[in-house]
Structures are given as structure tokens and as C-alpha cells.
């Protein structure tokens, strides 16, 4: 299993208002040729903060 992780500098003025989603590359397959997962549905709203390093934002249900 491989995980793509994007790290940002710690925000000095709180959490960022937006993220550079348009700058992220679109991956078609892993470097070894294995296909990426193809979920049929998602359980979150696109653009919604899913969590943070402290675990306090978005992860509690």
C-alpha cells in the first residue's frame, strides 16, 4: 500500500482558508503500473476538512 501525503507549513494565523487542490497532480496509476483504488462513493463532502494533525478537527462523529 502506498499513501500520498501533502505536508504544509504550520499555519501562523490558524487553519488555511483554502488549499491548492488545483495544483495537485492527477494520478492514473502507481509507478509500478498497479491501478489506483476506484471507490464507488465517498463519505465526505469534497473540499471539507477531514482532519488535522491534532486530531481535533473533523474526525469526531
**What secondary structure does DSSP assign to 1-61, as a single string?**
--------PPPSSSS-S---GGGSPPPSB-TTSPBPP--S--SS-TTS----TTS-SS---
> What are 46's three cell numbers?
469534497
Reported as a pLDDT band with limits 50, 70 and 90, residue 3 is confident
For the CA atoms of 6, 59, 52, 4, what is the dihedral angle to 10 degrees? -10
Q: Which three cell numbers stand for residue 45?
A: 463532502
The model carries a pTM of 0.29
- State pLDDT tens for residues 4-35: 777 777 777 777 677 777 777 788 888 899 98
**Predicted local distance difference test score (pLDDT) of residue 22:** 72
* pLDDT at position 39 over 70: yes
Amino acid at each position: 500500500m502506498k499513501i500520498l501525503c501533502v505536508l504544509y507549513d504550520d499555519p501562523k494565523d490558524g487553519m488555511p482558508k483554502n488549499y491548492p487542490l488545483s495544483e495537485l497532480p492527477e494520478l492514473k496509476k502507481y509507478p509500478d503500473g498497479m491501478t489506483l483504488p476506484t471507490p464507488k462513493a465517498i463519505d465526505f463532502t469534497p473540499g471539507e476538512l477531514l482532519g488535522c494533525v491534532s486530531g481535533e478537527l473533523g474526525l469526531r462523529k
